[in-house]
A and B are shown apart, each in its own frame.
Chain A
Amino acid sequence: MINGIFAGIAGILLANINRLDAGTLTFLVIPAIAAAIMARLSSLPGAFIGGIVCGQIEALLIASSPEIANLRSAGPYIAALIFLMIVGVGHGVGARE
């Protein structure tokens, strides 16, 4: 229920600046996961910072060449992957024993 409340509030705020369609909203979950992974799935402030980093990466890619701007949606995944490969998962959820 708490999860639903947060999702609903996010949807209402988002609807004011972004068109609402099922495809966009479904794919929105993947950059959100990238932000959560940057926080190692265990830190709310980390997820907040990760979200801002992901958003800025996308914004910077939009401002680059048109060919790269078309691939901007992949930016957060690549950033999260690089983060995981460099920093690792530590002792967080899913770490290999």
Chain B
Amino acid sequence: MSHQAGRKSPGGRAIAIVVVVGVVSGIIALTCGGYWLSNFTQAYCMTLAVLGCALLYGQLGLVSLSQWALVGVGGWVSLRVYHYIHPPFFVTMLAGGVGTSVIGTIWGLPALRMRGLYLALVTLMLAGAFQTLVTVISFPVGGPGFLGQVGPSGNDRINMARPVFASSDSGYFLFVAAITVLCIFLVEAHRRSKPGRAWR
């Protein structure tokens, strides 16, 4: 019955998501120190990664075991773009998303021919291949060349700057919470759209 009620009022559901995440995140931002803020920020980031898995499994029944590797792909592309042209944070973030979508599309080609256990194993193997690749090339840290590596001491490495308006730990946590809510809405919007309904 509650499920039916949720279907009838998507606006109410959206407001509930915003209120719950907003209140919980506000309490965390006001009461927690750096260590716990870092933990909760990572938890929201993982929530974002899991959203993709949940969408795939919930709508299509596809089990993808390479989601964490795709997170790494996004990180690599974002860092590469950031160290090349130092764009604003949002542009860097979108570049990571677009780059990962291209890689993910190529990555997903095996899904056209298989599903179930085969697909799970293939995506696990792809994640293993990415692990091997990233162990060799590592993430760009501001050095010269395409791979952007610095010397073995690592003293010259440059970290990616946070957005100006979210430079503090609590500010960055709230920023990540807002992006998480935005992505939940994107997933919901996709589920309700014509292509999303066709997936069921």
Contacts and interface: CB of A to CB of B under 8 A. Distances in A.
Interface of A: 27, 30, 33-34, 36-37, 41, 70-71, 73-74, 77-78, 80-81, 84-85, 88-89, 92-96
B110 A84 contact: yes
Given A30-B128, A73-B132, A81 B122 contact: yes
A41 B125 contact: no
B55 interface: no
A88 B122 CA distance: 12
Contact of A84 (B115, B118, B128, B129): B118
9 contacts: A37-B118, A37-B121, A41-B118, A71-B133, A71-B136, A80-B125, A89-B118, A93-B117, A96-B114
Contacts of B34: none
B194 interface: no
Number of chain B interface residues as a range: 20 to 34
A78 B118 CA distance: 15
B129 to A, nearest CB: 4
Contacts of B3: none
B115 A96 contact: yes
Interface of A is mostly: helix
B128 A88 contact: no
A81 B125 contact: yes
A33 to B, nearest CB: 5
Contacts of A74: 128-129, 132-133
B128 A94 contact: no
Contact of A88 (B113, B126, B131): B113
Nearest to A72: B132
Contact of A94 (B117, B124, B126, B133): B117
Contacts of A27: 128, 131
B133 A84 contact: no
A77 B115 contact: no
